[in-house]
Structure 1
Amino acid sequence: MRIQYNKLPTDEIFAAAATGMQDAAGAAARRGKLRRIVQGVYTRDLTTSLDVLVRTRLFEVVAAVRPGAVISDRSAVLGGKPTADNLLFLVHDRTPDVTLPGGIVLRCRRGPGPLPSDLALPDGLHMSGQARAALENMVGSRSRGGRTSRTLSRSELEAWLDRLVSREGDDWARDLRDQVREIAPTLGLEREADDLDALLDALLGTRTVTAASPELAARQRGIPYDAARVAVFDQLFTQLAMTAPPPALASSGGRRENVLPFVEAYFSNFIEGTEFTFEEAAAIVYEGTEPENRPADAHDIRGTYEITADSTEMRRTPATGDDLIHLLERRHAILMTGRPEKRPGELKQRANQAGSTLFVAPRLVRGTLKAGFERCAQLDDPFARSAFMMFLVSEVHPFDDGNGRVARIMMNAELVAAGLARIVIPTVYRTNYLMALRGLTRNGNTGSYVAMLSFAQRYAAQLDCSTLATAQAHLVRTNAFADPTDADAHGIRLVLPATLEASAED
Structure 2
Amino acid sequence: MDTSLPLELQEIIFSSSDTTLSRKINRMETKGILRKLAPKIYTPNMIEEPREIIQRNIFSIIGHLYPGAVLSHRSAFEFKPTATENLFLTYTYNRKVALPGVILNISKGTLKIDGDNLFTNELYVSQKERAMLENFQQTRKLGSDSKTLTIAQLEEKLEQIILVKGEEGLNRFRDRSKEIAGKLGMKLEFERMNKLISAMLNTKPSKLLSSPIAKARAFGTPYDAARITLFEKLFLALQQPFPVIDEPYQNPLAYRSFSFFEAYFSNYIEGTRFKISDAKQIIETGQPIAARDEDSHDILGTYQLVSNRAEMAKTPSSPAELLEILSYRHKVLMKARLLANPGEFKMQNNIAGDTTFVDHTLVRGTLTKGFDFYRTLEEPFAKAAYIMFLISEVHPFNDGNGRIARIMMNAELSKARQSKIIIPTVFRIDYIGALRQLTRRTDPHIYIRMLQRAHIFSGIIKGEQIDELQLILEKSNAFKEGDGDILKIIN
Normalising by the residue count of structure 2, what TM-score does the alignment of the two structures yield?
0.84
In structure 2, which of residues 245, 248, 271 is the aligned counterpart of residue 249 of structure 1?
Answer: 245
Match of 2:185 in 1: 188
| Counterpart residue identity of residue 251, structure 1 | E
Match of 1:77 in 2: 77
User: Are 1:245 and 1:383, in contact at CA under 8 Å, matched by a contact in 2?
Assistant: no
| Counterpart residue identity of residue 466, structure 2 | L
| Counterpart residue identity of residue 215, structure 1 | I
- Deviation of the 1:220 alpha carbon: 2.7
Question: Any idea what the Cα deviations from partners look like across 1:422-479, whole Å, max 9, x if unmatched?
Answer: 1222333333333333333344322222222222211211223543344334434434
In structure 1, which of residues 198, 201, 219 is the aligned counterpart of residue 198 of structure 2?
Answer: 201
- Deviation of the 1:153 alpha carbon: 1.1
Match of 2:159 in 1: 162
Q: What SS does the aligned partner of 1:259 have?
A: helix
Match of 1:425 in 2: 423
Output aligned runs, 1:387-466, within 5 Å: 387-466=385-464
Output aligned runs, 1:55-134, within 5 Å: 68-78=68-78, 80=79, 83=82, 88-92=87-91, 95-97=95-97, 108-121=106-119, 123-134=121-132
Sort the Cα spacing of 1:24 and 1:423 in 2 relative to 1 into closer, same or farther, 3 A.
farther
Q: How many residues align?
A: 483
Most deviating of 317-326 and 265-274: 265-274
Question: Any idea what the Cα deviations from partners look like across 1:13-54, whole Å, max 9, x if unmatched?
Answer: 655447954554676688898898877667899999999988
- Deviation of the 1:154 alpha carbon: 1.4
In structure 1, which of residues 172, 177, 180 is the aligned counterpart of residue 174 of structure 2?
Answer: 177
| Counterpart residue identity of residue 73, structure 1 | H
Match of 1:496 in 2: 487
Alignment RMSD: 3.6
Sort the Cα spacing of 1:169 and 1:410 in 2 relative to 1 into closer, same or farther, 3 A.
same
CA distance in 1, matches of 2:30, 2:446: 51
Sort the Cα spacing of 1:290 and 1:200 in 2 relative to 1 into closer, same or farther, 3 A.
same
- Deviation of the 1:352 alpha carbon: 2.0
- Deviation of the 1:6 alpha carbon: 7.8
- Deviation of the 1:65 alpha carbon: 6.9
Sort the Cα spacing of 1:45 and 1:231 in 2 relative to 1 into closer, same or farther, 3 A.
same
Match of 1:311 in 2: 309
The question of 1:379 aligning with 2:370 is answered no
CA distance in 2, matches of 1:53, 1:356: 38
- Deviation of the 1:308 alpha carbon: 1.0
Q: What SS does the aligned partner of 1:73 have?
A: coil
CA distance in 2, matches of 1:141, 1:475: 69
CA distance in 2, matches of 1:271, 1:88: 52
| Counterpart residue identity of residue 254, structure 1 | Q
Sort the Cα spacing of 1:315 and 1:131 in 2 relative to 1 into closer, same or farther, 3 A.
same
User: Are 1:257 and 1:464, in contact at CA under 8 Å, matched by a contact in 2?
Assistant: no
Match of 1:232 in 2: 230
- Deviation of the 1:281 alpha carbon: 3.0
CA distance in 2, matches of 1:478, 1:10: 68
- Deviation of the 1:87 alpha carbon: 5.3
- Quick check: which has more Rg, 1 or 2? 2
| Counterpart residue identity of residue 331, structure 2 | A
Output aligned runs, 1:476-495, within 5 Å: 476-484=474-482, 487=483, 493-495=484-486
Question: Any idea what the Cα deviations from partners look like across 1:351-405, whole Å, max 9, x if unmatched?
Answer: 2223343322223222221122133112222222222211221222111111111
- Deviation of the 1:317 alpha carbon: 0.8
Q: What SS does the aligned partner of 2:196 have?
A: helix
In structure 2, which of residues 349, 352, 357 is the aligned counterpart of residue 351 of structure 1?
Answer: 349
User: How many percent identity over aligned positions?
Assistant: 36
* Residue segments in structure 1 that go unaligned for 5+ positions in a row: 488-492
CA distance in 1, matches of 2:421, 2:105: 53
CA distance in 2, matches of 1:158, 1:173: 12
Question: Any idea what the Cα deviations from partners look like across 1:140-195, whole Å, max 9, x if unmatched?
Answer: 44557x74643221122223322321332110111011111111133332101011
CA distance in 2, matches of 1:327, 1:369: 12
| Counterpart residue identity of residue 231, structure 1 | T
